[in-house]
Chains A and B, each alone.
Chain A
Amino acid sequence: MNNYEKEKGVVSEFDLAIVGGRVIDPESKTDRIADIFIRDGVIKRIEKPKSKLGAKETIDAKEMIVVPGLIDMHTHLREPGREDEETIYTGSCAAVAGGFTSVCCMPNTHPPIDNQETVKFVYEKAKQAKCKVYPIGCITKNQMGEELTEIYDLVQAGVVAISDDGKPVSDPQVMRNALEYCRMFDLPVISHCEDLNLSGSGVMHEGFVSTSLGMSGIPSVAEEIMVARDIKLAEFTKAHLHIAHVSTEGSVELIRQAKKRGIKVTCEATPHHFSLTHEIIRTFDTNAKVNPPLRSKKDVEAIKKGLADGTIDCIATDHAPHSIEEKDVEFDFAPCGMVGLETALGLVVTELIEKKILSWSQAIAKLTINPAKILNLNGGRIKKNFPADITIIHPKTLWVVDPTKFQSKSKNSPFGKKRLRGKVFCTIVGGEVRSRE
């Protein structure tokens, strides 16, 4: 209760107010100072500043940017199976700390999310989570790339997409069937594009750095050949293909051309693929070992261009927790993946917005409304009667990444000691403050 209410003895009409902030809602092309009023977990009023409306709790968002709650459409939560690395709960803590109000968890758990029971298990665990959790189901049973999962069953249980992420669907006939079958449900198929024969024993991008370090390389074409195949299959089946973690110049160009031809293809890029190059591997930091690998400067520039011209629809973290024990080994033997939920926004601000690659509105669209539309999620907007999932950002704050302070159970980030601009001040999920600086 504020003083006015105390004096008058009235009960506020609203539960929460966010006042004085710069509200950016890409969907409605809103970008202005406004006050937001929330009741029962829903956005009820968006008013000009200094409105006389009262709320039980008020957040002063002056000098801050207020955006729809961020959505990460590519997260590994490791539960069930590797609860030592992350759980649905700890992953959700990392998510809200990083400004995400929704995450979509990939199904390569142990056991994998390839049946209704596991989907239900995830939803059950997600009841305790700090953010919304939407499971993605497997394309094939046990991610073996052979038999389709019971996709209708998975849809009934609430998956938002299917993917064998971590592994490609190598057999083109299986991929064709998956795309064709999913058209019935208007369900996107998320493809991890990698030709395993071409990537072989590679541990990093094939280029000058792999040449001088004598490491086996993963050539760009290992990704591009599958992007090209899947685009052809999407064209043929008229299904919705979403390409995960695009990393090469050639992939961006293939997708750009496919979109021009009207093929239903969308894609995402990760913050590490627009922030880092293979040069970082010269330090043999296993935290920088990811799949697809960090590529060359030319590829990074192409990703940025693809983000700027709209070829790349979304920014997704590919948050991939790994234990210290697994990562603190010879580079060749370390698993791929890095955590990303708590550095994503800072990297977007530092590498894309500050460097004038994207405007605030464009950048936020790729973290909110675009993934929401691709996955048919009810969110990604600041709009009357939409869920009150809201992220408040300090755009100017400079901070230094310290992985030991991460909420995530795992600390495998190559961004330790990096200075980033833009910090999450507050994350609101369903009208409740779930994280606050």
Chain B
Amino acid sequence: MKLRSRHLLALEGMSKDEITLILDTAETLKEILARPIRIVPTLRGVGVVNLFYEASTRTRISFELAEKRLSAEVVNFSASTSSVKKGETLKDTVRNIEAMKIDMVVVRHQASGVPYFLTQCMKASIINAGDGAHEHPTQGLLDVFTVREKYKRIKGLKVVIVGDIKHSRVARSDIWGFTALGADVSVCGPTTMLPLEIEKMGVKAYSDLDQALEGADVVNVLRIQLERQRGSLLPSLREYSNKFGITRDRLNRLNQNFTIMHPGPINRGVEITPEVADGPHSVILDQVTNGVAVRMAVLYLLSGGEGKVE
């Protein structure tokens, strides 16, 4: 089996089978990461550029490692060192990059829809590494992968995403990814951070954390993004922490074998207490490990690979 598209722009609209293919491929590739020499020649000669218009540590390093472990030629570009400051348009920038024979572009940008825009400007395969508050599909995939690895299934699990749903691309990709595989997904946050008609995405919406957590298996705690707080969506972080912070006391509402996730970076003591973040149910570092395998799977499949890795 192959993926339908040459690009990975969003998890919205992706079928269960396609997502499963990526996860299964990632499972195989994860074994490579456990070997003493963690490198395979699969993408030898494939030019990949990491085009980051927004600051990122984890995602950029994760993609770069995934590319290098598949033996791709990797070029990094970040907005602060580029010609963006000289007033060049995005379209001109990417067309210039493409003129240097690039096969794949991994893009992060603060504006929703930029990965789609790039598919209209150039021939390379485009991988969305986060566009505005729209989607972050590889994060969604690694979250689903991490949960599947632990429970051996997704169907029927109760997943709760807590935080600023309105401005979170992780929330959107998680919603599409988990619901496609049959999980029961809820979102929870202050009413000012729940976007209009979110229920139409197939989720339940709560502003009462205890209610949302009742009987949940997986809690994905989103970072409260201080840099996104335009206006007054929140009176204070203190108040947020009191009403929505994930503390040990709140965990007794969850199912026994519960899981705590966080896409990082963590504001310790704001959205989650250190004891929960570092506790036995936390898979936060597993998520990071799995991120490399999932991104390798995506790169491999989009470059034309089929189900089995040679």
A211 touches B111 (CB 8 A): no
Given contacts A330-B109, A331-B112, contact A210 B90 (CB under 8 A): no
Given contacts A213-B112, A331-B113, contact A207 B90 (CB under 8 A): no
Give the chain A neighbours of B109 by CB distance below 8 A: 330
B198 touches A211 (CB 8 A): yes
B266: interface (CB < 8 Å) = no
A215: interface (CB < 8 Å) = yes
A210 touches B195 (CB 8 A): yes
Given contacts A284-B116, A332-B112, contact A211 B230 (CB under 8 A): no
Given contacts A201-B230, A331-B117, contact A214 B112 (CB under 8 A): yes
Which of B91, B110, B111, B230 counts the most A-chain CB atoms under 10 A from its CB? B111
Within 330-387 of A, Cβ neighbours of B (below 8 Å) are at 330-333
Give the chain B neighbours of A214 by CB distance below 8 A: 112, 131-135, 167, 169, 172
A212 touches B172 (CB 8 A): yes
A211 touches B231 (CB 8 A): no
Given contacts A215-B112, A329-B90, A330-B111, contact A206 B196 (CB under 8 A): yes
Please, what's the 1-or-0 string for B130-152, where 1 marks a CB less than 8 Å from any CB in chain A?
01111100000000000000000
Give the B interface residue count (CB, 8 A).
29
Contact residue among B196, B198, B230 (Cβ-Cβ distance under 8 Å from A200):
B230
Interface band, chain A: 20 to 34
Q: How far, in angstroms, from A83 to B94 measured CA to CA in the complex?
A: 29
A217: interface (CB < 8 Å) = yes
B114 touches A330 (CB 8 A): yes
B200 touches A208 (CB 8 A): yes
B89: interface (CB < 8 Å) = yes
A328: interface (CB < 8 Å) = yes
Please, what's the 1-or-0 string for B74-106, where 1 marks a CB less than 8 Å from any CB in chain A?
000000000000000111000000000000000
A325 touches B89 (CB 8 A): yes
Given contacts A328-B91, A329-B91, contact A211 B117 (CB under 8 A): no
B12: interface (CB < 8 Å) = yes
Given contacts A330-B109, A332-B111, A332-B112, contact A211 B90 (CB under 8 A): no
B201: interface (CB < 8 Å) = yes
B231 touches A200 (CB 8 A): yes
Please, what's the 1-or-0 string for B220-247, where 1 marks a CB less than 8 Å from any CB in chain A?
0000000000110000000000000000
B117 touches A284 (CB 8 A): yes
Give the chain B neighbours of A201 by CB distance below 8 A: 230
A215 touches B196 (CB 8 A): no
Q: Closest approach, in angstroms, between the C-beta of B267 and any C-beta of chain A?
A: 21
Give the chain A neighbours of B200 by CB distance below 8 A: 208, 211-212
Q: Closest approach, in angstroms, between the C-beta of A77 and any C-beta of chain B?
A: 26
Within 161-180 of B, Cβ neighbours of A (below 8 Å) are at 166-167, 169, 172
Give the chain A neighbours of B116 by CB distance below 8 A: 283-284
Q: Closest approach, in angstroms, between the C-beta of B55 and any C-beta of chain A?
A: 17
Give the chain A neighbours of B91 by CB distance below 8 A: 328-329
B197: interface (CB < 8 Å) = yes
Give the chain B neighbours of A208 by CB distance below 8 A: 196-197, 200
Q: Closest approach, in angstroms, between the C-beta of A324 and any C-beta of chain B?
A: 10
Give the chain A neighbours of B197 by CB distance below 8 A: 207-208, 211
Q: Closest approach, in angstroms, between the C-beta of A275 and any C-beta of chain B?
A: 22
Give the chain B neighbours of A329 by CB distance below 8 A: 89-91
Other CB < 8 Å A-B pairs besides A214-B172, A331-B117, A332-B132, 17 of them?
A206-B196, A208-B196, A208-B200, A211-B196, A211-B200, A212-B12, A213-B134, A214-B134, A214-B135, A215-B134, A217-B196, A284-B113, A328-B91, A329-B90, A330-B109, A330-B113, A331-B113
- Please list 13 pairs of residues, one from A and one from B, whose beta carbons are closer than 8 Å in the complex, sorted by A's number: A200-B230, A211-B195, A211-B201, A214-B131, A214-B169, A215-B133, A215-B134, A217-B195, A284-B116, A328-B89, A330-B90, A331-B112, A332-B112
Chain B residues at the A interface, C-beta cutoff of 8 Å: 12, 89-91, 109-114, 116-117, 131-135, 166-167, 169, 172, 195-198, 200-201, 230-231
Pairs of residues from A and B, 4 with the lowest C-beta to C-beta distance, nearest first: A214-B133, A284-B113, A214-B134, A332-B111
